[in-house]
């Protein structure tokens, strides 16, 4: 069994290595035809840009994407500078230089990779999946009897912030930086997924398709791990199935199929303000121009925020979204599960959390109000501030850096819910409702708590669960995503996630159940 | 300002300190030789097993003590001078007190076994014991086998700990079945099975005779009264604990098995109190033992004594007995009293149900004549403390408990519930026709 695990690990690492080296390989030759196609598709008006590319790039063969990319980005920046200087604003290209490089690289790939897409898919994703499953599946036997299996978590390098964890940290951060800011390096990965993307949506794969595919695959494989690890706990099994379903069907498949049907790309479970560009001009225009379905999405999106959030949080707590539906939560609960113990439980972190997450909520709402004002008044600025700049700042700082690079990249060191705990504006909003008007609570079972601290250690949201449990108090914290792990790891059956009546939900007691009744009366009367 | 000194920073001492601080402005000093800060002894096993780091066992952050003006002193108390109200410390200046709380907890029992002081022989109680085990049994290469002597809660925990590092374990249990001085037979039997499922070599009806040293004075084997010699590198002595009160000899404080106290937790000497594992009640409260080495009783004594010390004289008056434990993968909860065959009274009858496949069971004790509910044990089912506590107070009959079992269930959502099967078994056993009622939040939250 152990041998199978090690073979699996080896296969996984081979797949990962090929995947990692792929962006550095390949030959790229941009033909004049292909350049013309992109110019037409993107409606580029800059003849300077086209000319420079014709001189420096067209019909030349580049080894590796970096040489090609630097030519394209330089050409684009030079051309834009020229047009701005001459006030030829209609010729300025607003696409990012690296996105342009990615588009052109995609059109110029050739050689072994491009001719053997399915083989290359197998050597990267295929080996990764097979290796990971071989590594995970033997646990059915190796973990022994069903029950809590946290043995050795703090002895293992990978789960105790050892060098493996730091390597994973660096890898994930680099991956996200590349994805957001150097998409041309992802072009070789997109080739491997072209056949699948063509089949699904009729289009070749872009780097966001690669990301969506990877996201779903990683979640699926790590969900298998969850099923094995928590097979004694039905709540975890059902919850894992739910997040997996919403990721694969709602976040990945439906939007691609909608594209195939000439509808706008839309994830029906992504809720504003997490879906921060829902009210951006381009999105509103695209929805309003898409006929019935566009209008439906508009109404649906607004209803999610204004109706679904308060109603469902009232009945079930914010967990209905954060640990049952949300994609970010889904990744955190599968890929991130081995790292859940790293969330800081200190009071200081809690203070930082409240400032940050509510700050982001204010930022998101403020930006959206500006956006809507600009949309309806057709003015580009609000009290002298350019709406576009605020949107760009949010997209960069919150959308890319916080949610992506930090949100997932920091898993191995700071735990799996960094984004959800410190940054997600939707979580802040759900949390308000949960704290002040919800039936959800984690019930503390009388006086059974022995203060062991398993609950606090494994709370991914950094809640010091034990601090409440040992006082006999229910937990009604706004940040609780209802993952249910505190209840699972409790050795004494103290904690239970429940949707009960509002009355008695918050129950501060000075003396726990089990002690003399008169004493309780005495103390509680006093307070 | 009155100076309250507490010896021992376990759950009893720390609870007392915290509540005295809540209720008053007194000067508070807590002395411990075991650790700088309060930690949860119950979690030591999880540190060895790699579920936690030691810092996770500390329920309060380190700034907490200064902020709440609870002074912590890391020192060992050699002697209590009751006449001069002074504590004599090892390697430290004496400390004067106005009120003294003795909360020194327990120490592992040693029954004078030959070889009990050898290297590699240890109990499992303190932080130091944990560190010792880490040194004695870091892995299965250095510790090729461990023998554990004593079939109680600490014994099975120690076995679980060692198994988490794949160390072969032989578990010597004096009784005919695991913990059968507390558990009824069916339950004890189920735990026997579960221990063996975890590849622990459980030897029942077996006593330790001698621990044999090697040439370096380390344990190398044990012999049992079955005539067997078992080679091992570590011997765990887990035959219960007793009050840690040696330093009080000749202090004038009346000692029995523990520090003798009345229900106000007062010793024979004014202004000196004892709480937690080390306290012994003159007269046992209800069916409780005079010395209760249980986490929550330590906490409750601390809560009660804090009231007394702050001028509101309050007896330690625990309500219905309850407790819980975890045997490897099986959670156990108990409410009220369910006695095993040997110690149960003539009027106590049991209803027992066990799941046909899973390691899940329930035992309900009731009065033979009145049918009054006396207690409930569950294995693999979580129960709601509040509800069963209420049933016991209201002196409900077992039939009522059966009908309303769902109200008392505390298992997580989506778990399979067993009320139907349990009540069906009850009906077929007693020829009744009870139907389990649906869970009612209204009943759960009503206080009538």
pLDDT tier for residue A511 given thresholds of 50, 70 and 90: low
A–B CB contacts, 8 A cutoff, strictly below: 176
Report CB contact under 8 Å: A452, B40. yes
Cα distance from A459 to chain B (closest Cα, Å)?
12
3-state secondary structure A277-288: CCCCHHHHHHHH
In order of their start, the domains of chain B are 3-107+242-309 (3.50.50.60), 121-239 (3.50.50.60), 322-445 (3.30.390.30)
Q: pLDDT averaged over chain A?
A: 94
Which residues on A lie below 8 Å from B42 (Cβ)? Answer: 450-452
Of A447, A450, A497, which is closest to B322 when you measure between CB atoms? Answer: A447
Which residues on A lie below 8 Å from B303 (Cβ)? Answer: 511-512, 515, 519
* Three-class secondary structure of residue B432 per DSSP: coil
What are the pLDDT digits (tens) for A92-132? 999 999 999 999 999 999 999 999 999 999 999 999 999 99
What are the pLDDT digits (tens) for A180-193? 999 999 999 999 99
The answer to whether residue B272 scores a pLDDT higher than 50 is yes
What are the pLDDT digits (tens) for B187-218? 999 999 999 999 999 999 999 999 999 999 99
How do strand B95-96 and strand B86-89 relate by DSSP bridges?
antiparallel
Of A234, A454, A493, which is closest to B410 when you measure between CB atoms? Answer: A493
Return d(Cα A321, Cα A313) in angstroms, integer. Answer: 8
pLDDT value of residue A517: 45
In order of their start, the domains of chain A are 27-110 (no CATH), 440-526 (3.30.70.20)
Return d(Cα A58, Cα A51) in angstroms, integer. Answer: 10
Average pLDDT over residues B1-20: 97
A143 close to B (CB below 8 A):
no
* Three-class secondary structure of residue A154 per DSSP: coil
Average pLDDT over residues A424-449: 96
Q: Give chain A's largest Cα–Cα span.
A: 92
Residue A376, φ and ψ in degrees, nearest 5: -80, -30
Q: Does residue B17 have a cis peptide bond before it, meaning omega lies within 30 degrees of 0?
A: no
DSSP B147: E
Return d(Cα A208, Cα A113) in angstroms, integer. Answer: 19
Report CB contact under 8 Å: A493, B383. yes
CB B355, CB B314: distance < 8 Å: no
A524 close to B (CB below 8 A):
no
A346 to chain B: closest CA residue: B61
Average pLDDT over residues B297-310: 95
ipTM: 0.95
B221: enclosing H helix or E strand: strand B219-224
Return d(Cα B281, Cα B35) in angstroms, integer. Answer: 28
B388 to chain A: closest CA residue: A446
Q: Give chain B's largest Cα–Cα span.
A: 72
Q: What is the pTM of this model?
A: 0.95
Quick one: CA torsion of A137, A143, A144, A146, rounded to 10 degrees? Answer: -90
CB A462, CB A356: distance < 8 Å: no
Q: Tell me the percentage of chain A whose pLDDT exceeds 90.
A: 93
Both tokens of B59, joined, read: 């329920």
Report CB contact under 8 Å: A145, B329. yes
- The 8 Å CB, 24+ separation contacts for B165-168 are B165/B137, B165/B138, B165/B139, B165/B140, B166/B140, B167/B137, B167/B139, B167/B140, B167/B143, B167/B234, B168/B140, B168/B144, B168/B199, B168/B201
What are the pLDDT digits (tens) for B36-67? 999 999 999 999 999 999 999 999 999 999 99
What are the pLDDT digits (tens) for A462-488? 999 999 999 999 999 999 999 999 999
Both tokens of A109, joined, read: 């790939």
Average pLDDT over residues A389-400: 96
3-state secondary structure A291-346: HHHHHHHHHHHHHHHHHHHHHHHHHHCCHHHHCCCCHHHHHHHHCCHHHHHHCCCC
Q: Which of A452, A467, A513 to mutate to test the interface with B (most CBs of B within 10 A)?
A: A452
Average pLDDT over residues A238-250: 98
Name the A residues in 221-240 with CB < 8 Å from any B CB: 232-235, 237-238
pLDDT value of residue A524: 53
The answer to whether residue B20 scores a pLDDT higher than 80 is yes
DSSP B41: G
A446 close to B (CB below 8 A):
yes
pLDDT tier for residue A504 given thresholds of 50, 70 and 90: confident
A521 close to B (CB below 8 A):
no
pLDDT value of residue A503: 86
CB A515, CB A469: distance < 8 Å: no
pLDDT value of residue A507: 81
Q: Tell me the percentage of chain A whose pLDDT exceeds 70.
A: 96
Cα distance from A413 to chain B (closest Cα, Å)?
15
Cα distance from B113 to chain A (closest Cα, Å)?
32
pLDDT value of residue B404: 97
pLDDT value of residue A155: 97
Report CB contact under 8 Å: B412, A522. no
Q: Among candidates A298, A280, A283, which has minimal Cα distance to A370? A: A280
Q: Tell me the percentage of chain B whose pLDDT exceeds 90.
A: 98
Q: Which of A349, A439, A446 to mutate to test the interface with B (most CBs of B within 10 A)?
A: A446
What are the pLDDT digits (tens) for A141-160? 999 889 999 999 999 999 99
Report CB contact under 8 Å: B326, A492. yes
Full DSSP string of A468-479: HHTTTPPB--TT
Cα distance from B316 to chain A (closest Cα, Å)?
7
Cα distance from B78 to chain A (closest Cα, Å)?
30
Cα distance from B330 to chain A (closest Cα, Å)?
8
């Amino acid at each position: 069994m152990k041998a199978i695990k090690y073979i699996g690990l080896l296969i996984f690492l081979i797949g990962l290595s090929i995947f990692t080296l792929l962006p550095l390989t390949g030959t790229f030759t941009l033909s004049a035809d292909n350049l013309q196609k992109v110019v037409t598709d993107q409606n580029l008006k800059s003849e300077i840009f086209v000319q420079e590319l014709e001189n420096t790039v067209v019909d030349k063969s580049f080894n590796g994407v970096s040489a090609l990319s630097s030519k394209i980005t330089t050409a684009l920046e030079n051309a834009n500078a020229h047009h701005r200087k001459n006030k030829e604003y209609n010729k300025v290209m607003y696409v990012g230089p690296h996105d342009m490089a990615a588009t052109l690289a995609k059109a110029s790939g050739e050689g072994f990779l491009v001719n053997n897409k399915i083989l290359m898919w197998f050597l990267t994703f295929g080996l990764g999946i097979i290796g990971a499953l071989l590594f995970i599946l033997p646990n059915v036997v190796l973990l022994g009897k069903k029950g809590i299996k946290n043995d050795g978590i703090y002895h293992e390098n990978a789960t105790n912030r050892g060098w493996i964890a730091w390597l994973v940290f660096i890898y994930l951060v680099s991956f996200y930086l590349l994805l957001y800011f150097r998409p041309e390096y992802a072009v070789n990965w997109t080739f491997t997924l072209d056949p699948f993307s063509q089949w699904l949506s009729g289009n070749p794969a872009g780097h966001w398709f690669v990301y969506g595919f990877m996201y779903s695959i990683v979640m699926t494989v790590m969900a298998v791990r969850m099923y094995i690890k928590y097979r004694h706990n039905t709540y975890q099994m059902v919850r894992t199935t739910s997040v997996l379903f919403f990721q694969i069907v709602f976040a990945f498949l439906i939007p691609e199929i909608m594209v195939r049907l000439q509808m706008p790309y839309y994830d029906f479970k992504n809720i504003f303000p997490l879906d921060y560009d829902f009210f951006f001009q381009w999105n509103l225009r695209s929805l309003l121009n898409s006929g019935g379905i566009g209008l439906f999405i508009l109404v649906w999106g607004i209803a999610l925020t204004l109706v679904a959030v308060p109603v469902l949080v009232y009945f079930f707590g914010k967990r209905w979204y954060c640990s049952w539906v949300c994609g970010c939560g889904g990744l955190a609960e599968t890929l991130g599960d081995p790292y859940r113990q790293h969330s800081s439980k200190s009071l200081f972190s809690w203070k930082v959390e409240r400032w940050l997450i509510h700050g982001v909520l204010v930022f998101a709402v403020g930006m959206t109000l500006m956006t809507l004002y600009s949309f309806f008044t057709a003015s580009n600025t609000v009290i002298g501030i350019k709406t576009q700049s605020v949107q760009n700042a949010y997209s960069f700082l919150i959308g890319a850096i916080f949610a992506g690079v930090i949100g997932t990249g920091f898993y191995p060191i700071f735990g799996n819910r960094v984004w959800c705990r410190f940054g997600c504006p939707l979580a802040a909003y759900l949390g308000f409702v949960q704290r002040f008007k919800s039936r959800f609570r984690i019930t503390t079972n009388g006086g059974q708590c022995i203060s062991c601290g398993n609950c606090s250690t494994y709370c991914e949201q950094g809640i010091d669960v034990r601090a409440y449990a040992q006082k006999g108090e229910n937990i009604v914290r706004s940040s609780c995503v209802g993952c249910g792990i505190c209840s699972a790891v409790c050795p004494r059956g103290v904690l239970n996630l429940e949707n009960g009546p509002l009355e008695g939900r918050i129950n501060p007691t000075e003396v726990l159940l089990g002690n003399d009744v008169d004493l309780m009366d005495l103390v509680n009367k006093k307070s | 300002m009155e100076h309250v000194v507490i010896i021992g920073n376990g759950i009893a001492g720390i609870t007392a300190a915290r509540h005295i601080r809540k209720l008053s402005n007194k000067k508070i000093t807590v002395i411990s030789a075991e650790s700088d800060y309060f930690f949860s002894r119950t979690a030591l096993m999880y540190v060895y097993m790699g579920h936690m780091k030691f810092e996770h066992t500390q329920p309060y952050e380190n700034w907490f003590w200064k902020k709440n003006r609870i002074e912590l002193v890391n020192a060992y108390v050699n002697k209590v001078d009751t006449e001069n109200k002074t504590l004599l410390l090892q390697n430290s200046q004496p400390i004067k007190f106005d009120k003294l709380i003795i909360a020194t907890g327990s120490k592992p029992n040693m029954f004078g076994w030959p070889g009990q002081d050898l290297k590699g022989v240890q109990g499992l109680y303190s932080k130091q014991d944990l560190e010792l085990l880490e040194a004695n049994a870091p892995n299965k290469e250095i510790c090729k086998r461990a023998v554990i002597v004593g079939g109680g809660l600490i014994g099975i925990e120690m076995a679980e700990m060692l198994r988490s590092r794949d160390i072969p374990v032989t578990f010597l249990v004096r009784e005919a079945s695991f913990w059968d001085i507390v558990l009824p037979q069916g339950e004890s039997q189920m735990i026997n099975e579960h221990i063996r499922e975890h590849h622990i070599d459980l030897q029942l009806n077996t006593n330790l005779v001698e621990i044999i040293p090697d040439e370096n004075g380390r344990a190398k084997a044990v012999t049992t009264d079955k005539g067997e010699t078992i080679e091992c590198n570590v011997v765990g002595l887990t035959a219960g604990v007793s009050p840690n009160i040696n330093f009080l000899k000749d202090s004038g404080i009346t000692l029995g098995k523990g520090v003798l106290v009345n229900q106000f937790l007062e010793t024979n000497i004014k202004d000196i109190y004892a709480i937690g594992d080390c306290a012994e009640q003159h007269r046992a409260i209800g069916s409780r033992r005079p010395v209760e080495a249980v986490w929550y009783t330590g906490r409750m004594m601390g809560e009660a004594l804090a009231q007394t010390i702050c001028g509101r004289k309050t007896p330690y008056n625990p309500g219905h007995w309850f407790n819980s434990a975890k045997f490897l993968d099986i959670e156990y909860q108990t409410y009220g009293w369910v006695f095993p065959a040997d110690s149960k009274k003539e009027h106590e009858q049991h209803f027992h149900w066990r799941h046909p496949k899973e390691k899940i069971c329930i035992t309900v004790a009731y009065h033979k004549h009145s049918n009054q509910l006396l207690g409930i044990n569950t294995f693999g089912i979580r129960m709601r403390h509040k509800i069963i506590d209420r049933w016991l107070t209201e002196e409900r009959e077992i039939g009522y408990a059966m009908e309303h079992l769902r109200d008392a269930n505390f298992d997580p959502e989506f778990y399979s519930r067993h009320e139907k099967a349990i009540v069906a078994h009850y009906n077929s056993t007693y020829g009744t026709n009870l139907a389990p009622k649906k869970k009612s939040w209204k009943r759960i939250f009503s206080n009538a």
